[in-house]
Amino acid sequence: MFASRETPDDVIEVLDIVPLQGSGGIIGPSVDAAISLAVDEINGGTGILGREVRVTTIDGGRAPHEVAREVSALLATGMVHAITGWHISAVRRAVARAADGRVPYLFATIHEGLPDEMPGVLMIGEDPQGHILAAMAWLRREYDVRRWALVGNDYIWPRATAAAVRTALADPASLVLERFVPLGTTDFAPFLADPRLDRADGVIMLLVGSDAARFNRQFAHTGRAARQVRVSPAVDETVLLAAGAEANENLFVSSSFFPDSERVHRYRRLHGPFAPQLTYFGNTGYEAMHTLRAVAETVGSFDVPRIHAALTAGAVLETPSGECRFRGNQAVQSAQIARADGVDFRILGRIS
C-alpha cells in the first residue's frame, strides 16, 4: 500500500463521472463502490506508473453542459490524468468536446457506436452490434421473436440505437411501434395502450435506470409479461430490484460484464454485507479502471496519441478478466444473454 503523499506529483488523479441524481441515479452507488474496489486493488499493488490512484467523483446526472463545465475547470488545473465513468451518451459527447483529447476518457457503459468520437475516448461497453442486435438475433432463434415494439428515452443513445435496429431488420414492417419519451417519464400509458403493441412479439427497452424500473412495473401490470418478451442492454440488477420480482417476467438482458463469483466475493470483503449489489453496470466501471491502468502501463504514459497508436498496432492489455484488445476505440467484447430471475440474472449463454 502507498504511504500518505505530500505532493500531487505522486498521485494519478482520475475523474469518475456517475449520476448522483435523475433517472440514472439509482445506478450510481454500485458504480462508485465497484470503482473503489478497482482502485483498492490497483493501489494495493504498484498503482499506475508507480503512483497512487485517487478518484474524484463528478455528478453525471446533471445537464450535459453543466457536467462538461465542471470537467473543463478541473482539467484546466493540469492535475487530471484521466476520465472514466458510467453516464448517458449526451453527457459523454459534451465532456469529450470539453476534454478535447487532453486525457484518456474511458466510457464505461454501452453506447450507440457513432463514428465521430473525439480523440481519447475509449469505449469499454458494447455498441449496438454487440448488445441489442445480438440479443434480438438470439431471441429470434430461440423464441421465434419476429415483430418488435421499441420504447426509449429521447436522447442520442436510444435514438441512434433504434436507427441501428431499423437498419438491421430484414423487414422494416417488423418494427410495429416506436416511441421515445423524456428522461424522468413516470407514465408509459400512451405506449402501453397503443393498439400496435398487440402485434409485437417482444419489446426493445432503451430506457435508463428508474425509467426502466417504472416501465417494467407498468408493463407487468397490463398482463403482457407472460406473452411478450422484453429485451434491454440497459437493465442491471439495481433496476430489477427497483421494479420488483413480479415485474421482471420474460425480461432478457445482454452484457459482457456480468460479474463472476470471485469478484463479488472480493467486493463484499472490501465493502461489507450492506454495500450496494455489484451489478454489471458497476462491473463495467471496475473494468474501465483496470483497463486504464493496463493501457497506461503498456504505453508508459497517459498521452492520448501514444495510446491510440498502441491500440491501433494491436496492443494486448492485461486486466483481471484476461486479455483485452481494441478495434479502433472499441474494446473487443464477448456478450452474454441473461434472463431475469426475480431480482437477479440467470445467464443463458454467449451471443457475440
Walk me through the domains of the chain, giving residue ranges and CATH numbers: 11-126+260-333 (3.40.50.2300), 132-256+336-351 (3.40.50.2300)
- How many helices (H) and strands (E) the chain has is answered by 11, 16
pLDDT at residue 352, as a whole number = 75
SS (H, E, C) 138-205: HHHHHHCCCCEEEEEECCHHHHHHHHHHHHHCCCHHHEEEEEEECCCCCCCHHHHCCHHHHHCCEEEE
Asked if 352 and 335 touch (Cβ cutoff 8 Å), the reply is yes
pLDDT at residue 343, as a whole number = 95
pLDDT at residue 199, as a whole number = 97
Segments in the chain below pLDDT 50: 6
pLDDT tens digits, 92-146? 999 999 999 999 999 999 999 988 899 999 999 999 999 999 999 999 999 999 9
**How would you classify the pairing of strands 121-123 and 105-107?**
parallel
- Strand segments, DSSP code E, in the chain are 11-18, 52-59, 82-85, 105-107, 121-123, 148-153, 175-181, 202-206, 229-232, 251-255, 317-319, 322-324, 326-327, 330-331, 336-341, 344-350
Q: Which of 283, 22, 329, 43 is nearest to 14 (CA)?
A: 43
pLDDT tens digits, 294-327? 999 999 999 999 999 999 999 999 999 899 999 9
> Rounded CA gap, 5 and 286, in Å?
24
Distances from the Cα of 20 to the Cα of 27, 98, 212, 338, angstroms? 8, 21, 17, 27
